[in-house]
Amino acid sequence: MTRGAAGAAVLVLVLVPPLLTSNPFLLHLAITVLLWTLLGAAWNLLGGFAGQVSFGHSTFFGVGAYTTMILYLKGGLAPWYGMALGGIVAVLVSLPIGLICFRLRGPYFSLSTLAVAEIVRLVALNWEGLTNGPVGLLITTLPRVAWGGRILDWESKVPFYYMIATFALASMLATYRLSRARLGAYLLAIREDEDAAESVGIDTVRAKVLTLALSAFFTGLGGGFYGLYFRYVDPDAVFPIALSVEMVFIAVVGGLATVIGPVIGAVFLTTIGEMFRERFLVGHLIFYGLFMMLVIRYLPEGIWGGARRAWAKRP
Amino acid sequence: MALRAQPGPVETFVQSVVSGVLTGSLYAMIGVGLTVVFGVMRIINLAHGELVMLGMYGAFWAHALWKLDPFLSIALWVPLMFLGGMFVYRFLLRPIIPGGELNTLLYTAGLSLLIANLALFAWTGDYRTIKLPYAITPLRPFGIAVPIPLAIAFALAIVITAALYLFLSRTDPGRAIRATSQNPEAAALMGIDVERISMLTFGLGSALAGAAGVLLAPSLYLYPTVGEILIAKCFVIVVLGGLGSVSGAIAGGVLLGLVESLGAVYVSVAYKDTIGFIMFLLVLLFRPSRLFGVGKS
Amino acid sequence: MMRRLLALALVFGILLVGAAAPATAQDTLKIGAPQPMTGPDAPFGDKFKKAYGMAVEEINAKGGVNGKKIEVIIDDHQAKNAMAATVAEKLITQGKVLVLTGGRASGQAVEIASVAQRLKTPYVVDHPSADIITAKGFEWVFRNNPTGSIYPQAFNKFISEVPGAMPKSAAVVYDNSVFGKTISNSAMTFLKSKNVPIVNDEAYPVNSLDFKPVMTKVKSNNPDYLLMVAVATTDAILLTKHAKEIGVAPRAFVGFGGGFGVEDFAKELGPQSQNVFSSAAWSGNPNDPTVKEFYKKFHDKYGIWPKEHEVEGYAIVFVIADAMRRAQLTGNVDADREAIRQALLKTDMTTVFGKLKFGNWAGPLGDPYTNQNIYSPDHSVLAQWLDGKLQNVWPKSNAEASYVFPDNTVKR
């Protein structure tokens, strides 16, 4: 099967669901899955390809979310522009963060990103003039807008679905292009051995900074979408450590440094979470944790990685 | 001793320092277990907070069911957690390690979810404290408040740390641990069974976590997910001191306790955690000797 | 490759549908309640579960609502906003509940209110206190309990009416949450209007491990009153403990927040809880026989004495049942939800929690409330921990014991 056909298949699979079902909860779940796909894919660029394990991506998510909300609620700027700006502001924020954190390697890098994320969260919590502090920002009405000649119905899930599907697909496309480009090769070299990569003349700083910027952009975009779709943003919703960790889970459980991995990770983690919560009101996280452990134990390359390996072994 | 109505600036300062050092010593105890494990196995054990939580619950149940004072029941829980830790390593962690550091890290994250929620299921989420009759009135040397359980915990923490130090420097297994921590390949060449040492170290780290939990329990409160908060502090301490360095973790813990205490009193309570994290970042950036002291990761 | 992709797609599809399988249809009137059943807030979720359970049993034993049984469906939102939205959507769309309640924490409640408003389902708030929930003009959202800015009113009355009680200075320590900020803001606004100097204004992060530094700072200012706000029980306990250990010696320790009013507070603190005031959200007049009966019933069934959360959960089921009874329910979910909403607008009843009528009025800090219980200001009562029991002490009409003031457990 050619890459083009595979790409078309993915496109179709992603765009079809709203046509198949009008059940708003299923669409809500699908939107959630796509949002996590976007976030997982964004993290994957830096963590999977470049091997820089960040535990602070919630910084970019929250920055994107707050930018969108503040610009809309206080400045009247329509949220779609706000989302794009959210992504851009996240990129700008990523530059000093990269400057500070890329000086460090391995676990020190990871922990420094965690520290930055916590600092940003605490600032958002306390800087009430800008963020409204813990009270948060709430959208009650979205602007009337037409697309393709029809007024968009914000009560329906469909416009949101296509929005997030576009973003998720964009991130997957970016991942694909990156993996085929020279930058992708540089990143893998950096992941294997950064010093060796330096010694053969790769500008590792530039590579890492570029990748972080791209990663931050998509994460910020996701944050902006979160604000738009969930309508409410407070510091604990968009800056928690748990969010950063979840992004890592998705990329790893799905399959690091792959294009399809984040989708798979997002689907599995969301559905497993829903299924267990349905069955066990209090104990569901026990099974979630167990599932995580089992996947890592028996599919160390992630679900997609394991699937590919099994496929390759066929007689 | 009667209290003066309004404490002067000196008394306030001394109180801040004393509180900071006492709290910091407990932070340090939590951090020591994590750093020892990292030093030998390059694993950041995200379930470490849950191990501390188990120690806390151990102390609680021993007190609730058998009226055993926590500072006595520590003698029961430390060996149990040592064995438990070795078991966890041998059967749960060892098969994962070949998958890489990130996988191991996430595996411990899954483990942490598992343990915390099993505890929730078994013991409910109700908040519990250990009420010790001698804990109500603090000591007041020179008008400085020193809570008794905290003082005892501090003293025991010193004893445990001294014992740990002796173990690491004077005994064969201890020296083997340090050797493996510095250079696993060389240690293997010297005939050290790295696998066995890893198992021992994880047991040791768990035992230290349990001890920290028991010492902490009378001064704090218990609930199944308390590990989340503890581990966040833990990271800061362990990195401050240098991953893998026991003395570093101790210094880091006490330093963090002091910085938080002084920061809260003299700068801002709302931002006191931020101060800790900023200090953390500054140390990371400007103390390269600490960073490379334990080898590349 | 094509087969692989197709197989994968099939698996995803099944999983997705499996995850969203609708609840088995039963002929009951369903009420949805997102609650935290895991995580640090889990004990509260459990309290509401018990409270709802008892109310449902009682109502169904008496024939239900117009012959139909009612049912409360609880789902775990894990104290996360996005999860609260997911759970609310699931209850509304899959569970086909007629009404929502619960939420527990304000952040999640705001999200639930937003979903309820958009999906046109009544959300009858039982406990979350953020003013914003009923101050955004959401016509589908109703609230029985007082808002955060109303919580301090009983305390305000106390210091204004008891001779010599007006603070000469006050230290205010509160958590960084919506709850903490709203209440402290409201309390401080009132104090400032009476020219009381605020000598400490300290916001702390929720779930702090150590309040000794904060209390050291407070002690150095020797405040006349110490006001503590805590949304988390753990913080409430530690705040008081460390305040007393460090030796802060005000004429009164005043707590605002659920944590100061739960049984755990005295159970865990023992003698250190003595004389601590709690400016709480419940006016349950203990001299009222209905309240006494409720206390006893709850304790007999569950072995614990109910407080604010249990009362709110129990009462809200009756409020909802009352509206359901008056609405003409046809079995068409959308029409029924609107009918219940109309019925709620006309609600005029008394529950164990107190009198209830939903109305639009302005709160103490000027928030424009819609569908907020107009009797809320009467539902703030000042209680005090005396010998391990929380007793209402102000206003006198609601009092079950005399207040102890100034505090005699610390040396001044």
Residues of chain A found within 8 Å of residue C8, distances taken between Cβ atoms: 264, 307
Q: Cβ of C249 under 8 Å from any chain B Cβ?
A: yes
Q: Sign of the CA dihedral B2, B4, B5, B11?
A: negative
Domain region containing A211? 24-241
Q: Is A29 among the domain residues?
A: yes
| Contact map slice: A 114-153 vs C, CB within 8 A | 122, 125-126, 133-136, 138, 140
Q: Which residues of B177-212 are buried (b: 16+ CB within 10 A; e: fewer)?
A: bbbbbeebeebeeeebebeebbbbbbbbbbbbbbbb
Closest residue to A296, CB basis, from B96, B118, B281: B96
CA distance A158 to A27: 8
B247 touching C (Cβ < 8 Å): no
Low-confidence winner among B97-106, B150-159, B193-202, C7-16 (lowest mean pLDDT): C7-16
Q: What is the mean pLDDT of residues A2-9?
A: 69
H/E stretch holding C406 reads none
Six token digits for residue A10: 């993915």
B-C interface: how many C-beta pairs under 8 angstroms? 121
Do C7 and A251 form a contact (C-beta atoms < 8 A)?
A: no
B270 CB neighbours in chain C (<8 A) are: 176, 202-205
CB of B141 within 8 Å of any CB in chain C? Answer: no
Instruction: Determine whether the interchain pair A278/C19 forms a contact, defined as Cβ–Cβ distance below 8 Å.
Output: yes
Cα of B43 to nearest chain A Cα, Å: 10
B26, B123, B127: best to mutate for the C interface, most C CBs within 10 A: B127
Q: Report how far Cα B182 is from the mean position of its chain's Cα atoms.
A: 22
CA distance A156 to chain C (A): 10
Give chain B positions within 8 Å (CB) of A291.
110
In chain A, the residue whose alpha carbon lies closest to the alpha carbon of B239 is: A108
Q: Which residues pair with C368 in a beta bridge?
A: C362
Are the C-beta atoms of B65 and B130 separated by less than 8 Å?
no
- Tell me the backbone φ, ψ of residue A146, rounded to 5 degrees: -110, 145
Q: How far apart are CA C393 and CA C277, in angstroms?
A: 9
pLDDT digits (tens, 9 = 90+) for C344-358: 999 999 999 989 999
Give the pLDDT mean for C129-157. Answer: 93
Those chains having 3 or more beta-carbon pairs within 8 angstroms of chain C are A, B
Question: Cα separation of A218 and A203, whole Å?
Answer: 23
Task: Tell me, yes or no, whether A288 lies in a domain.
Answer: no
pLDDT in tens, B228-261: 888 888 888 888 888 788 888 999 899 999 998 9
| C-alpha span between A97 and A91 (Å, rounded) | 10
Please check the confidence at residue C287 and state whether its pLDDT lies above 90: no
Contact C213 B19 (CB under 8 A): yes
State mean pLDDT over C373-399. 87
* % pLDDT > 70, chain C: 93
Contact C268 B221 (CB under 8 A): yes
Task: Output b/e per residue, B54-70; b: 16+ Cβ within 10 A.
Answer: bbbbbbbbbbeeeebbb
Domain ranges of chain B: 36-224, 228-297
Report the 10 Å Cβ neighbour count for C158: 23
How far apart CA C363 and CA B250 sit, in angstroms, is 51
Please tell me the distance from the alpha carbon of residue C110 to that of residue C135, in angstroms, as a whole number.
Answer: 11
Looking at the domain assignment, is residue A297 inside a domain? no
In sequence order, what are the residues at sequence separation of 6 or more whose Cβ sits closer than 8 angstroms to the Cβ of residue B282?
none
| Per-residue pLDDT, B89 | 94
Asked if A282's CB is within 8 angstroms of B96's CB, the reply is no
Token pair, residue C100, equals 């929502």
Asked if B29 and B222 count as a contact pair (C-beta separation under 8 A), the reply is: no
Nearest CA in chain C to B147: C245
**Measured between CA atoms, how close is B239 to chain A, in angstroms?**
7
Question: Hey, is the C-beta of A104 within 8 angstroms of any chain B C-beta?
Answer: yes
Nearest to C246 among B126, B145, B229 (CB): B145
- CB contact (8 A) between residue C181 and residue A135: yes
Q: Please state, rounded to an integer, the average pLDDT across all residues of chain A.
A: 90
C67/A124 Cα distance (integer angstroms): 52
**3-class DSSP state for residue A48?**
helix
Q: Which of C264, C314, C336, C325 is nearest to C66 (CA)?
A: C325
The DSSP bridge partners found for residue A156 are: none
Measure A283 CA to nearest chain B CA, in Å.
6
Top mean pLDDT of A184-188, A302-306, C104-108, C319-323 is at C319-323
Query: Is C319:C292 a contact under the CB 8 Å cutoff?
Result: no
Give me the pLDDT at residue B293, please.
39
**This prediction's pTM:** 0.91
Which residue is listed with tokens 């035992």? B207
* Residue C316 forms contact with B (CB below 8 Å): no
Tell me whether residues C203 and A277 touch, CB distance under 8 A: no
Q: Which residues of B touch A248 (CB under 8 A)?
A: 102, 106
Please give the backbone phi and psi of residue C275, each rounded to the nearest 5 degrees, phi first: 70, 5
A100 falls in which pLDDT band (50, 70, 90)? confident
* Residue whose structure tokens are 């970016």: A174
Work out how many domains chain A is built from and give that number: 1
First to last CA, chain B: 55
Q: Where are the alpha helices (DSSP H) in chain A?
A: 3-15, 17-20, 24-44, 58-73, 79-101, 106-126, 128-131, 158-180, 182-192, 194-199, 204-230, 235-238, 241-254, 261-279, 284-298, 302-312
User: CA A29 to CA A21: how far, in whole Å?
Assistant: 12
Considering only alpha carbons, which residue of chain A is nearest residue B270?
A126
Average pLDDT, chain C: 90
Q: How far is CA A177 from CA A45, A101, A119, B38, in A?
A: 11, 26, 34, 37
CA distance C81 to chain A (A): 6
How many angstroms separate the CA of residue C352 from the nearest CA in chain A?
A: 28
Does C167 or B296 have the greater pLDDT score? C167
**CA C122/CA C100 separation, integer angstroms:** 6
Cα(C269)–Cα(C252) distance, rounded to whole angstroms? 17
3-state SS assignment for residue B289: helix
Q: Is the model's pLDDT at B297 over the cut of 50?
A: no
**Longest CA–CA separation in chain B, Å:** 66
In chain C, what residues touch A264 (CB-CB under 8 Å)?
Answer: 8
Quick check: C234 contacting B, CB < 8 Å? yes
